[in-house]
């Protein structure tokens, strides 16, 4: 069960995720349909853009309790951990994205649909990883505040 503080963090995390989704979907659509780049290569570029944007937004608006103790080394470690967790979420996301396209080939023409389904499920994996590992100190500090 989530505490009220964790529930608010999940809400903000979901809003940041929605922003990341818009970035992801925009880049994917531009590259896959506008430039006719291979859909899977376009997906790699769209994922990279979304990850960098969500890392910055999550640091600034969701997991802010660590902000006062961040150093350059901490920031570099945090980014590495963030990328590792996001890679796990991306593996879930990409597997679900590709699986939907394989099962329903007509979704190639509407890549945002399988992206949305995959993104919702990957959001759960990512939030757990962020809360427990990347920004793990936030829970203890926010509960004592």
**pLDDT for 141:** 41
What pLDDT score was predicted for residue 66? 59
pLDDT at residue 67, as a whole number: 55
pLDDT band at residue 41, thresholds of 50, 70 and 90? very high
Q: What does the pLDDT look like over 12-31, one tens digit per residue?
A: 989 998 999 899 999 999 99
Q: Structure pTM? A: 0.70
Angle at which helices 39-57 and 72-103 pack, to 10 degrees? Answer: 140
Please write the tens of the pLDDT for every residue from 48-82.
899 889 988 988 888 876 555 555 557 778 888 88
Asked whether the predicted pLDDT for residue 139 surpasses 70, the reply is no
Nearest to 46 by CA among 35, 30, 58, 33: 30
Indicate whether 140 pLDDT > 50: no
Is residue 93 classed as helix, strand or coil in its secondary structure? helix
**pLDDT of 117 above 70:** yes
Predicted local distance difference test score (pLDDT) of residue 145: 40
Going by C-beta distance under 8 Å and a sequence separation of 6 or more, which residues neighbour residue 39?
A: 28, 32, 101, 108, 111
- Residues ≥6 apart with Cβ < 8 Å to 87: none
Q: What is the pLDDT of residue 138?
A: 42
pLDDT for the residue 43: 86
Delimit the domains of the chain by residue range.
Answer: 4-144
Query: d(Cα 73, Cα 68) in Å, to the nearest integer?
Result: 14
CB 57 within 8 A of CB 19: yes
């Amino acid at each position: 069960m989530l505490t009220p503080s964790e529930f608010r963090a999940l809400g903000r995390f979901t809003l940041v995720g929605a922003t990341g989704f818009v970035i992801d979907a925009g880049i994917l659509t531009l590259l896959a349909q506008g430039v006719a780049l291979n859909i899977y290569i376009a997906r790699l570029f769209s994922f990279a853009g979304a990850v960098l944007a969500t890392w910055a937004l999550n640091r600034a608006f969701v997991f802010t309790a660590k902000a006062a103790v961040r150093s350059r080394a901490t920031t570099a470690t945090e980014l590495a951990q963030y990328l590792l967790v996001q890679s796990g979420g991306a593996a879930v996301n990409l597997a679900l994205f590709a699986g939907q396209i394989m099962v329903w080939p007509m979704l190639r023409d509407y890549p945002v649909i399988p992206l949305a389904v995959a993104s919702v499920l990957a959001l759960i994996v990512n939030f757990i990883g962020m809360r427990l590992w990347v920004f793990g100190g936030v829970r203890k500090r926010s509960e004592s505040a």
